[in-house]
Each structure stands twice: as structure tokens, then as C-alpha cells.
Structure 1
């Protein structure tokens, strides 16, 4: 018989609200307690007192979860930390993609600059394969961006970074957040809320303009969590200093060293958004983009029991994958009780 665990005395993120409710888990899946009680006539074997903590779906970082191919089909002018010698054109259309990447069956996202020649063919082909096309590292104007979205693109790579700055006569990729020329499509956009890449004022502008499309990302590199110093990133050297990552000997940002929990907290501080909104930007929104919302990004019945426990300051207290605890903060105050064997009336 499978063990059932009931998490109680907690607030869970459910239907866009934090509600005082219990969470029931069996075999790595979130269960409907009504089914357990009335149909199966069973009870939990374990009960976990969460002492008032928040239970949220586990964070999803679209820069890290799944395969995201960011480059080489980008603008040389907006290449960021990408070495210019590796940047390519798409003059061969979709064949250029295959010749560069090879097998793309496990790819979730491809970032490209929509102003490049043959981008229309590439966007359509990738979309047909259920690969999300993201617009980024680009000099595209708004008209080029709108055309790309109407061809199937649905994401902007790290908004405000590696793109034309907002201009009132042509807002470029940023203008997609409020465009009326994309047939009512929901445009999603990644936002690096690490305190380095995006000013709090810009964070508030994006949040107010299009909250439903906002996806928190880290853009983190392998040096995340390491002390200041110089490290290897691919074939380049990166220096960690002043809480940021830079190409060695320059002020060019080379990704981030923040984790998702830090980005969630900074975004909440900078935007003043509700806890519910902030959490969904790191859970539900990326799940919707990737098309995995039936299993990930929610606490709905039948979804995977991948969740985290948080305090009101949004510090992670515990992490569960498939219902198994894989991380616990040193000061965690939950209690687990083993109950007597459940008695069936059958």
C-alpha cells in the first residue's frame, strides 16, 4: 500500500491565491483528499505540521529547465558575452538550424534575432515542432518583432538586455508587451531580477505593462554561488565582482550569479507585487510557456509533487521533488508525525 502524507497548517498557492488548505501527496503526485476519503476510504500515514509556512510549486527557470539554445543566430551588435566569431546567419533557412544544432528533438526554446534573413521560415518550422521561439540578442524594431510573433514566436529573452533600448517612436522588442498588432497573443518575457541586469524602475514598468507574461529567470552561469574571482565560461574567462559576472577585463555582463530564490525576493521588493503574483511568475507562467502546466508549476490534483516551503520573506525552508525532501533549511520548524495504520470500513 502506498503511503499518503498530509501537509497541514500551511498556506498553499492554489487558483492564484494563497489559501489555508492541506496538501496531500502519494507516490510523488498531489492527490484530491475527497477521492481518498470518500472513494478509497483511506487516511494519511504521515502528517507534517508546516507551522504556517507557504507551500508553492517548485520554481522553474526557463534558462535552465530543459534545453534552451541561445545563439549563434543573433545580432553581432547585441551579442552580449557571445564571442563574435561564432555568430552565424540563417541564410540557409531551417537547414542552417539543423547544420548547426543537429538533433533538436529535446530542445524547448531557441533564441534568435528576428531581423535576420530567413527568420520567418525558421520560426514557422520550430513552432511546428513545438519548440518555443524566443526573440533576443537583437536589433529588431517593433514591426519586425510583431511579424515574428505572428509567425509563431512567443517569448522575449531577458527583457531590456541585449536589445534596442525603448524609444517612444519605436520601442523595439519591449513594445511587444503592449502591442495591439499580435492578434491577441500572450507574449511571454524573461526578466532577470538579480539587482544587476534590470533597474527596479524598469522592473515596475514591465510588471505594470504585462504581468501575465512575466517570467522570472536567473540567467545564471556555472559560477553561481562561488566567491569573487575569475572562472571559465565556455572558452572565455569571467570575473565575479560586485555581485555580478563580467567578461574578464571588461564591464560586459556575462550572465548572472543569482539563484531563483534571490530573484523572486528582489522582484517582490522592487515591484511591490503580491506574493501570489511573484510566485506564479516563477512557477505557473514558465509552465504555461513550456506547455507542462498539467504536471509542473501548480499544486493542482494530479500534478507532480515538486514543491517548496517558504516563509513570508520568501526564503526557501524546504524543497521536495516527487514528494521526497531533498533540501531543508537549518532552522526549519516543521514536524512529521507517523499515524496509526488507517482503518478501512470495507
Structure 2
């Protein structure tokens, strides 16, 4: 499959295209496969040129810079750049902080007052900037169940807007959640606009997205769903299971057909029972499929998150927010795909009282995951970085290693976001 425009910055993106050299010095760096103490990360032209463990922690004076380059300057990518360019690069001191890959969000309906289905193209730019405040460097704006013309317009608008995002997090494509969902597990998705799986309708959605559709959520038990899963996978779209009343056997059939991801585990799904494990049992027990989890303490109890961590391979767990425009905002009324949602004490509910997305951000999701489960920082970070990158089949994101994109976040020791980089350029910096 040829490179989609959503996976690269356009030539007109301005500052992102400039030659830029940066060295980030951090108290620790999680790649996230391993942890480096006193790390130096060399960034050139938007990519990571090298990573090393510093022998000493010091102010980056010119003598310190020269000594460090003598130690590491022969590395392949670092050595391709003139030594003086590195000496005079932008050296960023974060000895008291932690550097990690930028977070990757596979499921966001909005944030910061912006809705992914808003027909105004500037809404996607607003989402991109708002996401960067919370350490997110790449994302899939999510389109939900709505009247067909509304879905088509949203897909087309997002496809157009992606070519012009030059600030904030990078859109990697589109996540379509619906309309082929179970009526009895629809959650906030409007029942009047649910559809039975249809190859022709899916093809229309795919064409409206102009090839930017990356993840597609549906219920596997519906008639025609298995053929649709096979078709989506054949087009390079990742079929995801969700909003489903599937039995264990029906969910397994969906996985056999090619489903490789699942959305908001436990929510809008047939509940697990020891005699009827259902779709939850299939997701927990099958290593071919990854599982999103919303760690806001509203969608899922912390003990359920502990059970997930104990039952599922950690590299198959993906932190997701399912955020709406209320994320990062105060309580009050908001919109989700044109639908009214009211936020009270952080919980987002529609007029029927149903949960309607979340007000969660990825940095808080990460802190909650670590606090509730006690898993290592490296494993926790992987759920927001490496694991979602693997779901999308991306080798250049979610990692700190030579050749990867310089999508990075500097975190405090309390795991608060201090600074966010996309392709080596600062897109958010916490005020002093």
C-alpha cells in the first residue's frame, strides 16, 4: 500500500521542513523497551539521529558538548552531520525529567472544545494543538454513527484537513466507529442511524475518506460482518471489534476473519460470565487481538484494569481515551458528533444518561494506569506509545531509536507533561 498523505507532513508545512538540530538531555529516557539513565537524544531534520546514555550529568557548556560528541559522534546518523552543527544545536536540559515517545491516540472524538465531526476544517487543527498539551503526538480522529450524509461529510472534511495540519499532533488517518454496531450495545450511538453491515456502504465510506480510513469498528455477530472484516483488512484498514453482543464463538469468528483490535474493552460489550465468556473472554484470551482500555475510573473500575493487566499480554494493551470535545475543559454542555452531551464531575453523558465518550487525556490515563496496577513505567508507557504504533503497523513512531520520527514528550517525575515535540519541533511547552 502506498504511503498515505496522512502519514507525512506536506511540503508546505513550513517550520517542520526546516533543517533543525536538537540535543535533549534527560534524567531518564524510556524507549520504551528499555530505560536509559542520563540520556542524550540527538534530533536532526525531524528524526532521531542517535540515542546514548550520558557518562555524566552536567550543564551543556561547549566543553561538555564537545566531550559528548567525541564519545558518540562516530555513530552513523550523528556522524553524518557536521560536528559544529551539533555543537551549535539547540541543547535542551531536562536532567530532572523523563523523555518518552509521544503518545499515540487511536480513539478520540474531540478535545479542547473541538469535535472531530465538526464540518469546519479548523476543528482538526484545534484538536491537534490541544492533544499536544497532553503529550499526544499522533492520533486518529474518530467519526461515529450518524446519518449517512453526515458521516460522508465528516470523512471528506477530515481527509481534506489532514493535508494542512502543520502544528500540534499528527493525524495518522481516521477511525470510523459505526454504523455497523449492535443495537443492544450501541451506547450513545443513535439507534435510528445504525446500519446492517453492507460492503457497498463501507466502500462508499472508504472512498469518502480518500484512503485515510485506518481503523473501523463493528460488531462481528451481525449478519454480513465477517465479510466486511475481510474486505476492510484487504484494503489495509484495521478491523476492530466493539459495541458488540457477540458470544465467545462469534467474537472468535471475527478474529479469524481478520479483526486485530478492539475498542474500549468491557464497555458496550456483552459482559463476561464464567459460563458465557462472550466477546470479553475472546479478547482477553486471544493474543492476535489488541485491547483498548479507558482508564478514567468512570468507564472501568480500577480492579477491572488490574484484571486486564493480569490476563492480557501487556504488549496487546492500548491506552485510549475515547475523548470528546470536553476533554481538557470544565464541566458543562458539549457536542459529540452533533449530539448534546453534559459533563458533570468529569463524566460525559447524553440526554438518555448513557456514557458518551470521556473527558480523559492520555497523560492522566497513563498516571491512572500506573497507580492502579503497579506495572513498570516502561510497560505503562508502551501502552500509549509502542503498542498503538504496532496496531497501526508503524515502525517509525512510538519508539526512541535511530531512524524513528522525533515525536517526543518530556515528563516531570510526577508524569506531568512539560514539553511536546513533533518531528523534532516543539509544539507545546508548559509555561514557567
TM-score by length of 2: 0.71
Q: Do the aligned residues in 2 keep the contact of 1:68 with 1:109 (CA within 8 Å)?
A: yes
CA distance in 1, matches of 2:331, 2:26: 41
CA distance in 1, matches of 2:78, 2:202: 53
In structure 2, runs of 5+ residues without a counterpart are 1-17, 51-72, 109-138, 140-172
Q: Do the aligned residues in 2 keep the contact of 1:318 with 1:329 (CA within 8 Å)?
A: yes
Once the two structures are superposed, residues 132-167 of structure 1 have per-residue CA deviations (whole angstroms, 9 ceiling, x without a partner) of: 100000000111111111110011110000001110
Once the two structures are superposed, residues 79-135 of structure 1 have per-residue CA deviations (whole angstroms, 9 ceiling, x without a partner) of: 000111000002xx4223124564341101000000011111111111111111000
Equivalent residue for 2:34? Answer: 17
Matches for 1:33-44 after TM superposition, within 5 Å: 34-36=75-77, 42-43=83-84, 44=86
Distance 1:5 1:139, change over 3 A: same
Q: Do the aligned residues in 1 keep the contact of 2:182 with 2:243 (CA within 8 Å)?
A: yes
Which structure features the higher share of helix residues?
2
- Aligned match of 2:398 in 294, 297, 302? 297
Distance 1:232 1:40, change over 3 A: closer
Q: Could you tell which deviates more after superposition, 39-48 or 304-313? A: 39-48
Once the two structures are superposed, residues 273-326 of structure 1 have per-residue CA deviations (whole angstroms, 9 ceiling, x without a partner) of: 11101111000000000011x221111111111100012221111111111112
Distance 1:38 1:155, change over 3 A: closer
Any runs of at least 4 consecutive aligned residues in structure 1 with deviations exceeding 6 A, and if so which?
none
Equivalent residue for 1:241? Answer: 344
Equivalent residue for 2:418? Answer: 317
Distance 1:15 1:71, change over 3 A: closer
Query: How many residues are paired up?
Result: 323
Distance 1:74 1:24, change over 3 A: same
SS of 1:51's equivalent? strand
Q: Do the aligned residues in 1 keep the contact of 2:32 with 2:100 (CA within 8 Å)?
A: no
Q: After TM superposition, give the deviation of residue 26 of structure 1 in Å.
A: 0.7
TM-score by length of 1: 0.88
In structure 1, runs of 5+ residues without a counterpart are 332-346
Matches for 1:257-272 after TM superposition, within 5 Å: 257-272=359-374
Once the two structures are superposed, residues 61-95 of structure 1 have per-residue CA deviations (whole angstroms, 9 ceiling, x without a partner) of: 101422010011000100000111000002xx422
- Aligned match of 1:50 in 94, 108, 119? 94
Q: Does 1:97 align with 2:202?
A: yes
CA distance in 1, matches of 2:176, 2:284: 26
Q: Could you tell which deviates more after superposition, 186-195 or 222-231? A: 222-231
Q: Once superposed, what is the RMSD of the aligned Cα atoms? A: 1.8
CA distance in 2, matches of 1:212, 1:69: 24
Q: Do the aligned residues in 2 keep the contact of 1:111 with 1:135 (CA within 8 Å)?
A: yes
Q: Does 1:330 align with 2:374?
A: no
CA distance in 1, matches of 2:332, 2:326: 9
